Chain A
Amino acid sequence: MRPLEHFLIQFNVRKLDLGNNILFVEDNKFFLITREMQNTIKKTKKPFYAGNYLGKARGKKFFPSVSLLNMTKSRTSHKIWIDSKTEWLFVCGRDLFASGIRKSSYNAQKNTIALVLNPNNEVIGFGKVTKSLKEKGVVVQNILDIGDFLRRERKKK
């Protein structure tokens, strides 16, 4: 649980709303599962995947899933909106410059992390603020974006 908590605290999120679900950790991969799934899993061999994937821990570092970022959306103020032209560049793995940023919902200080949202208010990834959002050069470093779904497949091939 700790790597997940450490990750969420960076968004100022103290606790995740699990609803009626249960946190299930297998091989450092974190999932939210229902009670019915838990009962099934108890009786069977280890599943490869179960329920809602939240991310994986490697050492102290946590690598979130896009689903976890979406769950964080309503609970954090750390959000940066970008314009439609910048949206595709970000999804292709590029960092953000001041010119592509439309607004931010918090006082984005250096080394904080924030969700990156497109003009439709959809989470398309997250990044680390490297300097004031008005300065020249890269202001947000891309850490994860939804283009990763395609890149993973390409890496696999």
Chain B
Amino acid sequence: MEKEIFIERYRKLGWKFSEPNVKKAIRVNTLKISKKVLQKRLASKGIKTSNIDFVKDGLFIEESKFSIGSSVEYLLGYCYIQEAASQAAAELLNPKENDVVLDCCAAPGGKATHLSQLMKNKGMVIALDKKSQRLIALKNNIERMGCKNIVVYNIDALDVASLGIKFDKILLDAPCSGNFTLESNWFEKRDLEGIRGNAGNQKKLLKACLDVLKPKGVLVYSTCSLEPEENEENMKWAVKSLNMKLISQKRFWPSEKNKGFFTAKLVRK
């Protein structure tokens, strides 16, 4: 599919195509350090940061002579390198300290460790990933970030019912087509057929999640796709076919602040 066709789709959805220079972002790990103290420490090493206005614990890297991933602060687990908009998903779910929460496609652990942080290391996060080689990165990040309330299983989220657990809240950051800011030649690699295929898989995941969500339980669905089939249309389907209530949905178009993201909050009736 031609790049122009995608650009035209985005225009119809209300966004004028551009290729922004996206700021790097981190999430402060408040399990270990406060935002203020970390900012001060990073500043002493020549890393200038600023607050992200739409998430609580996020910081933009405004200026740095070296990668923050090569800092002692990163290795001590004081922060997680995480795109600004993707920090919105766990915040939207708003897990509480005594909740049992599911993170469906958890590796490499950005959102699972964020959930743990929001729950102050209490309650329980069940993190799943079907790809065993991705679990190493997940384990490393859980350990580095000092999360102590996460249990990881090497299973496909489609089989989550086999665990026999019912969840208060679920975060489904669904595997998706991604977008052009995340991958070079994205436009050449993607077509509508593939996007529809991904949307179909996402519907299966939504259904699997609904089966293990407690009544009145909350599900946050997110993708880094810009395509309506994987976002708004899937939400319409969840409302109609799964009898879920859509509380909110939000698009983050690519900008200087973020690379493009979609979040939606649903409640099981």
List the B side residues contacting A118 at CB < 8 Å: 72
- Contact flag A50-B75 (CB < 8 Å), given A44-B163, A44-B164: no
* A36, CB-defined interface residue at 8 Å: yes
Task: Tell me if A30 counts as interface (CB < 8 A to partner B).
Answer: no
Chain B interfacial residues counted at CB < 8 A: 30
Do B152 and A53 touch across chains, with their CB atoms under 8 A apart?
A: no
In the complex, whether B228 has a CB less than 8 A from a CB of chain A is: no
Count of CB-CB pairs between chains A and B under 8 Å: 85
Q: Are A51 and B148 in contact (CB under 8 A)?
A: yes
Distance of A41 Cα from B152 Cα, bound (Å)? 10
- Closest Cβ of chain B to A116, distance in Å, is 12
Q: What is the CA–CA distance of A36 and B122 in the complex, to the nearest angstrom? A: 10
Number of interface residues of A (CB under 8 A): 33
- Whether B149 pairs with A34 at a CB distance below 8 angstroms is yes
Interface contact A47-B153, CB-CB below 8 Å: yes
Q: How far is the CA of A88 from the CA of B42 in the complex (A)?
A: 15
Report if A124-B72 is in contact (Cβ < 8 Å); known contacts: A41-B151, A48-B139, A50-B151.
yes
Choose the segment among B22-30, B130-138, B168-176 that binds chain A (4+ C-beta atoms closer than 8 Å).
Answer: B130-138
Beyond the given A45-B153, A66-B144, please list 15 additional residue pairs across the A-B interface where CB-CB is below 8 A: A37-B151, A40-B151, A43-B165, A45-B162, A48-B139, A48-B154, A49-B152, A53-B142, A67-B143, A118-B72, A124-B75, A146-B72, A149-B143, A150-B75, A156-B137
